Structure 1
Amino acid sequence: MPKKYLLEVKDEHGRLDKFVSEQVPDLSRTRVKELIQDKNILVNNKSEKVSYKVQAGDCVLVNVPAVKPLDVVPENIPLDIVYEDDDVIVVNKPQGMVVHPAPGHPDHTLVNALLYHTKDLAQSPEGFRPGIVHRIDKDTSGLLMIAKNAKARESLEDQLAHKTNKRIYWAIVHGNFGEEGGTIDALIGRNPYDRKKMAVVENGKKAVTHFKVLEQFKGFSLIECQLETGRTHQIRVHLDYIGHAVAGDPLYGPRKTLKGHGQFLHAKVLGFRHPQSGKWMEFSVEPPKIFQDTLAQLEKKQVIR
């Protein structure tokens, strides 16, 4: 059911999104920002920015549309749950699984599996991605954090926005390096020539990837990447940009590559502060068997010290 709130600013001050989230506990700050951007929150009958500073005497109308019906069906799909409590789930997503339903992938997703596992997932405005605060690509394996309630969702999304969490990936890439590591700081946006792809473009959004070379083989390298930002396909685009495309990548890599089930990219380490306790939590999982077997084969051929 849609809800409406009429809030009068008395002696409060500060940003509009902060004021509304404090006055309406059921709304997370993230949800409030969405409502402001969609012009569902008006100040004195006018649409204002998220950063608007409320003043005594302001009248704030909050219109909360009904959440779109969830038409995603729970499916009994096994989950590799690394950690779970009343607020969060940390799951190790297998390669080949889509995170949430989308055109072309209406079911058999991580969300379908999560809905079968638990009814406690933070609502999403769209309805089709409850609990999801960040994503990894279908053929990328590894760790994801899931929010089970609105407070957890707000906290985890805030940590992502302020870059206070930790996300470390392993990747097998084409070519060898003369340096031990580096930082790729290049704007990423939609590829103007191919709408299915992202690219480094002048009018893109800031994207920063730090990398470290772990081991080098004949024609390939194992590297560790740490995300500072989280743009779509960021690691894949950045590594292709510097001439070291992820092996097996069907979208950004060369045709002649390592055989597998898509890109050899694995979200190995995930760290964040717990939404309730504030305690730092960090998890690590090994890459899938095909990733480890491929590394073993590369080591047999030749390791470059």
Structure 2
Amino acid sequence: MIQDPISITVPLELVGKTVLAVMRVAVPGESWSKLRQRLERLQVSVNGAVCENEAHRVAVGDEIILHTRPVELPKQSDVQILFIDPHLVVVAKPSGMMTHRRPEERTWSAEKKGLHPSLEEAVASLIARRSVESGQRARNSHPRVPVLRIVHRLDRDTSGLLVLARSPEAEEGLIGQFRRHTAHRVYWTIVHGHPAEETIESNLVRDRGDGRRGSINNPKVGQRAVTHVRPLEDLGAYSLVECQLETGRTNQIRIHLSERGHLVCGDVKYRQPFAAKMIDDQSHAPRLALHAAELGFVHPISGEELQFRMPLPQDLAAFLDHLRFQAHSNHATRQ
């Protein structure tokens, strides 16, 4: 019986095997029928997308997660448009939704794409619907889906603020701000332990030696990554932490905090720092406890400074309240 989520990064020797066969290797004590039930109950994901097909063939580096409960799939209606003009759109992304499709996902059937909408597709559809509802296009005409341009990304399981460009000029201007690290990006996260206020700087590589991204000691290899960490609240065994990005590498905050021994609650992927003991996550987080709470940039066309803030979504807010209550109760018991 699986008590905690299990994360499997497919090694070279398992390439071409079915997802069911890889699951059997990862959980040898569980029967074939039980493993098939997990697929049927939407408790297995491959690279973040729910997998129901036991015959799906895996590739090297694929991330397979066996969840303890069915994966809740975000819908297009879960996306919020917070600001829009002819050049850009700022949105609130729900957890569980990819920013844009991986190359292998672009050939999915329309039915599967509908089950797993990308943020890019969802926002384009919402904008097209708005144009019809506002009378900009005839109601009986087919709405033209606008072209959106990705200028930065959020991990699939991270919620929060993101900006997409709607014109080539805005795309160029926004990418320049992210490249020069002048855009303001602040994340809130709930982690194990009590991180110090510090700036973490390292070079990140795609494979630290076990198929996962991580830091490396060689300064000539990898991409420079800088995260400014500031504790906000002591939650007993956990902490609410603010992380300000100077750079924006893939999984940067999760890697930096995990390597310091402060796993982001609900993070299955980085529970085991390289060549170190696995961190036991008993937080019971509803999902990855990471949220893009603040976003600021200069409008690439008007020059206006834009600042956006988004509170924790309901699932993380409830989780935070639970940890506060738990910490208070434990403190009272010790008195």
TM-score (norm 1): 0.68
| Equivalent position of 2:164 in the other structure | 146
Contact in 1 for aligned 2:286/2:319 (Cα 8 Å): no
| Equivalent position of 1:191 in the other structure | 207
Task: State the shift of 1:120 in Å.
Answer: 7.1
Which secondary structure state, in structure 2, belongs to the residue aligned with residue 111 of structure 1?
Answer: helix
Name the aligned partner's letter for residue 185 of structure 1: E
Aligned: 1:117 with 2:126: yes
* 1: CA distance, partners of 2:81 / 2:285: 24
| Equivalent position of 2:88 in the other structure | 88
* 2: CA distance, partners of 1:89 / 1:258: 35
Change (3 A) 1:149 1:132: same
| Equivalent position of 2:66 in the other structure | none
| Equivalent position of 1:228 in the other structure | 246
Name the aligned partner's letter for residue 90 of structure 1: V
CA deviations on 1:220-261 (whole Å, 9 max, x unpaired) are 000000000011100000101111111110101234332234
| Equivalent position of 1:182 in the other structure | 198
Contact in 1 for aligned 2:181/2:246 (Cα 8 Å): yes
Task: State the shift of 1:297 in Å.
Answer: 0.8
Which structure has the highest helix share of the two?
2
Change (3 A) 1:215 1:255: same
Aligned: 1:292 with 2:317: yes
Which secondary structure state, in structure 2, belongs to the residue aligned with residue 263 of structure 1?
Answer: coil
* 2: CA distance, partners of 1:187 / 1:236: 14
Q: How does 1:52-131 map to 2 (within 5 A)?
A: 77-78=76-77, 79-102=79-102, 103=104, 106=108, 107=113, 108-118=117-127, 121=146, 130-131=148-149
* 2: CA distance, partners of 1:205 / 1:281: 28
Question: Structure 1 unaligned runs (5+)?
Answer: 1-75, 123-129
* 2: CA distance, partners of 1:257 / 1:187: 30
Change (3 A) 1:143 1:208: same
| Equivalent position of 1:173 in the other structure | 191
* 1: CA distance, partners of 2:157 / 2:95: 5
Change (3 A) 1:204 1:257: farther
CA deviations on 1:20-62 (whole Å, 9 max, x unpaired) are xxxxxxxxxxxxxxxxxxxxxxxxxxxxxxxxxxxxxxxxxxx
Structure 1 stretches of at least 4 aligned residues deviating more than 3 Å after TM superposition: 103-106, 118-122
Change (3 A) 1:261 1:236: same
* 2: CA distance, partners of 1:193 / 1:163: 29
Larger mean CA deviation between 97-106 and 109-118 belongs to 97-106
Which secondary structure state, in structure 2, belongs to the residue aligned with residue 183 of structure 1?
Answer: strand
Name the aligned partner's letter for residue 187 of structure 1: N
Which secondary structure state, in structure 2, belongs to the residue aligned with residue 256 of structure 1?
Answer: coil
Task: State the shift of 1:104 in Å.
Answer: 5.2
Which secondary structure state, in structure 1, belongs to the residue aligned with residue 124 of structure 2?
Answer: helix
| Equivalent position of 1:280 in the other structure | 305
Contact in 2 for aligned 1:272/1:282 (Cα 8 Å): yes
Contact in 1 for aligned 2:149/2:171 (Cα 8 Å): yes
* 2: CA distance, partners of 1:227 / 1:121: 30
Which secondary structure state, in structure 2, belongs to the residue aligned with residue 206 of structure 1?
Answer: strand
CA deviations on 1:161-211 (whole Å, 9 max, x unpaired) are 01111000000000124x4x110011111124333x210012221100001
* 2: CA distance, partners of 1:240 / 1:297: 22
* 2: CA distance, partners of 1:120 / 1:194: 41
Aligned: 1:266 with 2:291: yes
Task: State the shift of 1:87 in Å.
Answer: 0.8
Identity of aligned residues (%): 37
Contact in 2 for aligned 1:182/1:211 (Cα 8 Å): yes
TM-score (norm 2): 0.62
Contact in 2 for aligned 1:140/1:266 (Cα 8 Å): yes
* 1: CA distance, partners of 2:238 / 2:307: 29
